[in-house]
Structure 1
């Protein structure tokens, strides 16, 4: 039986949600298995390549320990395709009511992207309080999140965009940050050479970031 997730479940599972871009479905299951072996279960495969949906489907089928999600969800059609492929959560770069309603209709937990106070208010009005802050560093970084703590103290964020091992803890120590999103757990060159042990070590290092909170 598949346990129903909430957006907070997705964000609270580990300090980092990997932002994954895959062009070859053959890499999907080995990558997911390597990340899970390192302690990272929530995996965001972005819908940026023609192989993305097939990769989501492969991970959902072959790596049941992983919780696969779809990133770069920009329309209701994206959400529907991701759900059909087996995605158990969705992440969007921005927020529209159409995307939000589609995910509600699909019972697909959504982390909507926001970068302004108005966007936070729009997402909250539609019932979303676990949000992706994107692009985090260009949009104001940790300073912006600290400013939002006052008026939006009931919101939790997953900052994504410009996050790396050197600055991740600057975000994770903030009271309104549940986790961060980052692409450094799945470097293209490491995937290309199939160095899955290296991926597992990157995941272990990411899990260890929680100790700094």
Structure 2
């Protein structure tokens, strides 16, 4: 897969997807390199700060080993901004028909967010089988996802929200979970200190979660 080619599916990129919030786009490249070196090539940069588009653009251009995507996608304008910056996948905390249409039209894979069985069924009716489960822990965690597996086996999830080093393996052990998203490998003090070596070490520990699947 070339750096410009969208992945076939977000869920198959890596068992753990770091969820990155950046206030300074200048940190994007060294942070992305640390995550890739640690074994986490799929990186979700959330559109929660003004620095996000430039951060996505920098990673897309300067860290070809990374597959950078955009998170907290809430509007069609967000979709356009993210894809224009070089995002190769899109993640939203929830969805509407308008947002879903925009993500479909973007040409890159996407994960619309769900937290209830009804939302899952509504997406399945629209032909979407890959979803973000958010906020994972608050919405019922592994018990809830396990309960969905039998009646809705075609749905596959990336749980995010409250996923940590302590429970990531439990999520990944579920038959309907393909990957998890989280921030535990990105502690705020390490980011503030630009301690990329620590991020690299924590990324390597997170990447090792795959052995528990």
TM-score range, shorter chain: over 0.9
Q: Provide, for residues 136-164 of structure 1, a one-character-per-residue CA deviation record: whole Å limited to 9, x for no partner.
A: 00000000001100111111111100010
Please name the residue that 1:34 is paired with: 34
TM-score by length of 1: 0.96
Please name the residue that 2:189 is paired with: 189
Q: Provide, for residues 53-79 of structure 1, a one-character-per-residue CA deviation record: whole Å limited to 9, x for no partner.
A: 111111111111111100000111111
Q: By how many angstroms is 1:5 displaced?
A: 1.7
TM-score by length of 2: 0.96
More moved, 118-127 vs 133-142: 118-127
Q: By how many angstroms is 1:6 displaced?
A: 2.4
Q: Provide, for residues 120-179 of structure 1, a one-character-per-residue CA deviation record: whole Å limited to 9, x for no partner.
A: 112122221111000000000000001100111111111100010011111111111101
Give the distance between the partners of 1:6 and 1:183, measured in 2 at CA.
Answer: 24
**Cα contact 2:6–2:109 (8 A) shared by 1:** no
Is it true that 1:97 corresponds to 2:97 in the alignment? yes
Please name the residue that 1:43 is paired with: 43
Matched residue count = 211
Q: By how many angstroms is 1:191 displaced?
A: 1.3
Please name the residue that 1:203 is paired with: 203
Q: By how many angstroms is 1:95 displaced?
A: 1.4
Give the distance between the partners of 1:36 and 1:97, measured in 2 at CA.
Answer: 34
Root-mean-square deviation (Å): 1.1
Q: Structure 1 residues 4, 51: closer, same or farther in 2, change over 3 A?
A: closer
Please name the residue that 1:18 is paired with: 18
Give the distance between the partners of 2:170 and 2:106, measured in 1 at CA.
Answer: 35
